[in-house]
Each structure stands twice: as structure tokens, then as C-alpha cells.
Chains A and B, each alone.
Chain A
């Protein structure tokens, strides 16, 4: 009898832990998004320096960003640089394609993507001051998205965790 009791107790504990972990995993993208938005802002700040001060051609500037930015955000710049250097694409087409590919590895929302796409429509096609202006605007917009993402993180991560543990507890009660 004692053995069966301990087996059931262990099973209940496993269910509750697994459920709690699932809640934590599901909240992963919510925790990751602010980090990626921060990384993007830092990269755009570097891009502004490359364009305004270092006078670097855009494909090389994107390659440099791919080198300096932390994964997975660096892939966005790596893909854009590759498409630009080896394909017969305009910067707008290359950027759009790179942003579309980033859906596989970034956790950005539709609004975040639109900011990047709007920036892409203006990258490389005007004088330095104008480029700086567009990059600053994009950074500012991403900053606002980041602030919202952080607020969402605080609320939703807790919610997902609580739901995870609660769902586990409920399942145990039903089974028991």
C-alpha cells in the first residue's frame, strides 16, 4: 500500500512540475522579445555610426553588424548582407526577405516587423543625415515596443507560470 502511495505521489509531483515547466517554456517568447528588441536597437545605433562616421558601404556595414550583434538577432543582418552581396536584389528586397526569414528565429510581433520594414524602405537610398534620421526613428519606435514588451513580460510571465502550476494541480486532482 505504501509503495503504491509513493508511486502516486511521485506521479502527481511529476505532473505538477511538468505543467509548471510548460508554463515557463510557453512564456519564453515573451521573456525573449524585449531582449531581442534591445539587441536590435543597439545594432541600429552601430549602423548609424557605420554610415555617419565610418563611411562604410551598406553591405559591409551589415556584415559588421552580423559580427558584432549577439545571436539570434545577428542572423537578420547576416542574411541581409548575403542577399545584397550575392543576389541581384535591391536593399529593400534583400531587407524584406531577411525580415521574412527572421520569423523562423526571432520572436517579433507584426508591429515590430513593420518598424524594420519601414526602415528597410529607406536604407541606403539617401544622404547621411537622412539615413541617421530614419535610423533614430526606427530605434525610438523599437524602444517603445520594448517598453510595452517589458510590461507584457511582467504580467504574462507570471500569468503563464501560475497557469502552468495551477493546470498541473488541477490535473492531479482530477486523476486522484
Chain B
């Protein structure tokens, strides 16, 4: 039911013309919707587990793109204004990164025409392509595996979640962070948690407040680049557990090594389908050489997103 609620939650951030159309979409389709795609000059589309569906002016699902409602420039402009509270200047850094966060933790991919100066993307204009990804919190997603991620005294052991994109890494680490932060009497104590949320995907902070439940003892460093965020977390927050998403570069891995050296347990995720594949990349190799992680969780989509293939003790 979270998805259905999410669909209704985001409607108020769309232009009234789109809201009228999307409001007429059959309830069953609203529940299945993962993404709402609003693209200037192209048909209004919904992405579901079964594929892309176009929406006609009457709100009817159509497979033929030509029958879909053709989104206008005004639809896009008004939607963006509603999403940014008429203050694009407040989110210009996020727009350069290509996303916005809405209340409820829904993320909007926003792209347009890039303005490059000295080889770097400085600004984005004509923002006519909006992709609303509905937030899907899955409470207790980590419940089956969490007992194997703590030691005999309930202390969390550094864990790396490995999976290809779209397998539920973020959902899983968010729930691990939440459960560690709340604690579970008899199983593990309350941990202080610092989430370095470079792309606002874990905490989905909107105007200073996390939109997802990250737990009562969690600090969210929203929008901080990983390296700087980890340094701040070590220096200023001294958490029991440091959480970050999608390690990629050697610099990210070095920052994680620093945190582990400071005695902080690390929960991180990385793209890949196996530990062996991860170690072939420079960042992965650095993590392996320094023996940062004690547990590995491998995810897949075999039985839908979030399928735990293996929990490995290193």
C-alpha cells in the first residue's frame, strides 16, 4: 500500500493538468507504479514491474505511445515549480547532480540542457524531463539477516552489500541503519549511526528532515560528498556505525578505511554481482586488502528486488 500512497503523495507536486489525468488512472495501476515519467513533447508514462505504460488524456493506460497524453513545456515548468516551491535557486546544486527529493522521500530525476564551463557542468537549463521514482520503504527488510551481522555481544560488524543496480541495496541498508539505531533488547543494543547520504537516497532529507525512518539515534549528512561526509562523521559525530551507499572510487574506499581505522563499524553498498568481481576494481581491492568488512551480503532480483543470495562471513 506504500506505493499507492506514494502515488497520491506526489500528485500534488505535478501541474494541475497532469494531476487531473494521473488522478483518473485505475487504482490497481497506481499501486503497481514505480515511476512516473514526465517528458516535454513526449507521452506521459508510468513504469511498473511489468514495463512501461502510457497514460491517455482520459487517464486510461495505453500501450501505444501515440495515444498517451503529450506533455507540454508548461506542464514541466509548473511541475518543477511546485516541486521546488517556486525556488529553483534553492536546489541548483541538486539540479546539477540531476535529482530532487520530495516530502515522503520520493526522488525526482531532473534533466535538461547542460551548461558547461571549463569542462564542468555548471548549470542545467530547459528542465523538461522529470522522472518521479516513488519511495518504497520496506520495514523489516533486514530482519532475516540482521542477527548474522552482529557479534555475540550484539555489536554490528562492518558489512558490505553487493548487488547489481535495482536489487534493493539502498532499501536494505536503510533498514539495517534503522534497526541498529532503534536497537533490539536481547539481540543488539542501540547504536549511534551516521548516514553519509551523498545522493539523498537513504534518508531522503527534505528541508532538513529525513523523510524515511532512519532511527532515533541516526544523524544524516545529506548531500555531503562521501569523502568529506565520512571525515565530518569521524571528527564530529563519532558514531558506532557509519552508513554510506554505492562506494565507487578509490577515494571513497580510502575514506571508509579511515573510518574503520577510527574504530567505526561501516555499512556500505557497492555495485557488483560477487565479492570477486568487486575486488577486481581498484576501490574494491583497497577494501579487501585492508580487511575492512567482516560480512558480505549478496543481493539479486531472482525472486524480486531484495532477494538475499548469500550472507558471507569473512
A and B associate: yes
Instruction: Write the chain A residue with the least CB distance to B88.
Output: A125
A62 to B85, CA, bound (A): 12
Query: Could you say which residues of chain B place their CB within 8 Å of the CB of A59?
Result: 85-87
A128 with B77, Cβ < 8 A, contacts A57-B87, A58-B86 known: no
Q: Of A55, A84, A91, A123, which one neighbours B90 at CB under 8 angstroms?
A: A55
A123 to B90, CA, bound (A): 12
Query: Could you say which residues of chain B place their CB within 8 Å of the CB of A84?
Result: 86
B232 on the interface (CB 8 Å rule)?
Answer: no
Q: Of A90, A127, A130, which one neighbours B86 at CB under 8 angstroms?
A: A90
* Majority secondary structure, B binding face: helix
Query: Could you say which residues of chain B place their CB within 8 Å of the CB of A57?
Result: 85-87, 90
- Pick from B88, B89, B123 the residue with the most CB of A within 10 Å: B89
Query: Could you say which residues of chain B place their CB within 8 Å of the CB of A91?
Result: 81, 86
CB < 8 Å A-B pair total = 41
Are B87 and A90 neighbours in the complex by a CB distance under 8 Å? no
Are B86 and A128 neighbours in the complex by a CB distance under 8 Å? no
A104 on the interface (CB 8 Å rule)?
Answer: no
Query: Could you say which residues of chain A place their CB within 8 Å of the CB of B86?
Result: 57-59, 84, 90-91, 123-125
Query: Could you say which residues of chain A place their CB within 8 Å of the CB of B77?
Result: 90, 125
Q: B87-120 CB contact bits vs A (8 Å, 1 = yes)?
A: 1111010000000000000000000000000000
Apart from the given pairs A57-B87, A59-B85, 9 other A-B contacts in the complex at a CB distance below 8 Å: A51-B89, A58-B85, A58-B86, A126-B89, A127-B88, A127-B92, A127-B123, A128-B92, A131-B89
Chain A residues in the interface with B (C-beta under 8 A): 51, 55, 57-59, 84, 88, 90-91, 123-128, 130-131
